[in-house]
Chains A and B, each alone.
Chain A
C-alpha cells in the first residue's frame, strides 16, 4: 500500500441536486384547475393545508392557486366546507 489515496477532503461530491424543484412546473399534468368563489369562501384556509402541491396560498388574504404547479387533483374542491371551490377545465 505505497500509493497515496485521496482523503475525504479531496473526494468529489456525490450527486447533489443543485436546482430547486420550483423550476420544474408540474401544472401541465392536470386538465382541471380550481376556481374560487370568494363570496362563499370563509377563509378557513383548509385548502392550503390539504393541497399536496402547496400551490394554494393565502398571502393576499384570500385563496390563490399557483397554476404553474397545480396538478388538478381536485382535493380542495372536494373538501371545501363552504363549497366555494369548483373544478374547471384549464386553458
Chain B
C-alpha cells in the first residue's frame, strides 16, 4: 500500500484530463475521470468505449487526454485493455519495446452503462475471466445519453427516457436496473467498488486500491446527467450524494479472498448502516429529478414510489447481510 491519499496532496497533482473538453456544463463524468486519474501511480494508459466521455474529449483535432489514450469501439473497452496489458507484458519479457521500461503500468478502461451493461458485457466478462491486470471504470449515467437518452440495462425502474416514455399507461421503464456489480463479483473479480463523485476522497482511495490490485478491478461510479435526468446543472453533486443517502446506490468495496467475496461498506454507507434513522426515503432522490416527474405530477403515484422504496430496502438489506452487519 502506498502513501494514503489526502485532499491536500491530491489538489497539487496536475489534472490528467485537460480543460477544454466539450462535455455538458455540470456533467459528472469528467469529475469522476479526473479523480480516478489523480489516483494513478505513474505510467498510465487509458482507453474509452464509445460514449459521452470519449466523443466529447477527443473531437478532432483536439484531445483532452494528457496520457496515452486509445480509441475503442462500443463493445470492446475491456478487450482493448486486455491487449494493452498483454503487449506490456510481452515487451517486459523481451526487454524491448516502448513499454518495456515500466515496472508498473496502470491500465484504465472507461465505459458508460451502455458499453458495460449491454454492448460491452461479453468483452468485460472475457477480460475478467482471463484475469488481466487492468481497472475498469463504469461511468453509470443510466441511459445512452450520448445519442439522446435511450434506455439501457442500467436505467432504473420508472425512469423516463426517449425509448421508455412515461404516459398514462406505461410509467417509464418497466424493468429494473441490472445488478452489474453482482455479475462482476460472480466472476471472482479481485476488487469491486462502487463510488459516487460526491465523496471525492473515497473515490480516489478506491481508485488507488483498484490500480494496486493484481488482476482485474472494477469501479462502478454513479454519474448523474443533468440533461438526461432532468435537473439543473448545479445539482449534479447533490443528486450523486442523495443516491448514497437514500441507499439507492450504496457505497461498498468487495474483495475476493479464498474464492469468497468479502463485502465492506464505505464510510458514507456505513454511517447509515449503524444509524438506520439517517437513511432518507427514496422519494427525496426521485423528486429532484425530472425523469421521475410523472410519479408526482399530475397526481402522486403512491404505488410506484412504494415499489421503488421496497426494491431499495430489499437490496440494502441484502447488502447488509453480505457485509455481515
- In the complex, the answer to whether B11 meets A20 with C-beta atoms within 8 Å is no
- In the complex, the answer to whether B11 meets A54 with C-beta atoms within 8 Å is no
Q: List, in ascending order, chain A residues with CB within 8 A of B10's CB.
A: 49
Interface flag for B122 (CB, 8 Å):
no
User: What total of chain B residues lie within 8 Å of the partner, measured CB to CB?
Assistant: 41
Contact with B along A18-32 (1 / 0, CB 8 A): 111111111001100
Interface flag for B30 (CB, 8 Å):
yes
The A/B interface has a contact count, at CB < 8 Å, of 113
- In the complex, the answer to whether B200 meets A20 with C-beta atoms within 8 Å is no
- The smallest C-beta distance from B324 to any residue of chain A, in angstroms, reads 32
Q: List, in ascending order, chain A residues with CB within 8 A of B20's CB.
A: 20-26, 68-69
Interface flag for A15 (CB, 8 Å):
yes
- In the complex, the answer to whether B7 meets A52 with C-beta atoms within 8 Å is no
Determine the distance from Cα of A46 to Cα of B35 in the docked complex, in whole angstroms. 12
Contact with A along B19-57 (1 / 0, CB 8 A): 111111111111100110000000000000000000001
Determine the distance from Cα of A79 to Cα of B234 in the docked complex, in whole angstroms. 9
- In the complex, the answer to whether A69 meets B19 with C-beta atoms within 8 Å is yes
Chain A residue at minimum C-beta to C-beta distance from B235: A78
Determine the distance from Cα of A29 to Cα of B194 in the docked complex, in whole angstroms. 32
- In the complex, the answer to whether B200 meets A18 with C-beta atoms within 8 Å is no
Which of B19, B31, B233 interacts with A50 by CB under 8 Å?
Answer: B31
Contact with A along B211-247 (1 / 0, CB 8 A): 0000000000000001000001111111000000000
Contact with B along A71-87 (1 / 0, CB 8 A): 11111011100000001
Determine the distance from Cα of A23 to Cα of B19 in the docked complex, in whole angstroms. 9
- The smallest C-beta distance from B188 to any residue of chain A, in angstroms, reads 33
Determine the distance from Cα of A44 to Cα of B26 in the docked complex, in whole angstroms. 21
- In the complex, the answer to whether A52 meets B235 with C-beta atoms within 8 Å is no
- The smallest C-beta distance from B106 to any residue of chain A, in angstroms, reads 19
Q: List, in ascending order, chain B residues with CB within 8 A of A69's CB.
A: 19-20
- In the complex, the answer to whether A75 meets B233 with C-beta atoms within 8 Å is yes
Given the known interface contacts A75-B26, A75-B233, the answer about A19 and B61 at a Cβ–Cβ threshold of 8 Å is yes
- In the complex, the answer to whether A21 meets B26 with C-beta atoms within 8 Å is no
Chain A residue at minimum C-beta to C-beta distance from B7: A45
Which of B29, B31, B60 interacts with A17 by CB under 8 Å?
Answer: B60
- In the complex, the answer to whether A44 meets B61 with C-beta atoms within 8 Å is no
Q: List, in ascending order, chain A residues with CB within 8 A of B253's CB.
A: none
Given the known interface contacts A21-B64, A58-B11, the answer about A50 and B18 at a Cβ–Cβ threshold of 8 Å is no
Name A33-91 residues within 8 Å CB distance of B. 44-46, 48-55, 58, 66, 68-69, 71-75, 77-79, 87
- The smallest C-beta distance from A24 to any residue of chain B, in angstroms, reads 4
Interface flag for B3 (CB, 8 Å):
no
- In the complex, the answer to whether B200 meets A46 with C-beta atoms within 8 Å is yes
Given the known interface contacts A49-B7, A58-B11, the answer about A74 and B19 at a Cβ–Cβ threshold of 8 Å is no
- The smallest C-beta distance from B66 to any residue of chain A, in angstroms, reads 8
- In the complex, the answer to whether A54 meets B30 with C-beta atoms within 8 Å is yes
- The smallest C-beta distance from B262 to any residue of chain A, in angstroms, reads 29
Which 8 residue pairs spanning A and B have beta carbons closest together? A74-B234, A21-B20, A17-B63, A71-B25, A73-B26, A69-B19, A73-B25, A21-B64
* 12 A–B contacts from the bound complex (CB under 8 Å): A20-B64, A21-B18, A22-B19, A23-B20, A24-B62, A25-B20, A52-B27, A55-B19, A71-B25, A73-B226, A74-B233, A78-B235
Assuming A20-B20, A21-B20, A49-B200, what are 9 further A-B pairs, CB within 8 angstroms?
A17-B60, A44-B7, A45-B8, A46-B7, A52-B26, A52-B31, A66-B19, A74-B232, A75-B236
| Residues of chain A whose beta carbon lies under 8 Å from any beta carbon of chain B | 15, 17-26, 29-30, 44-46, 48-55, 58, 66, 68-69, 71-75, 77-79, 87
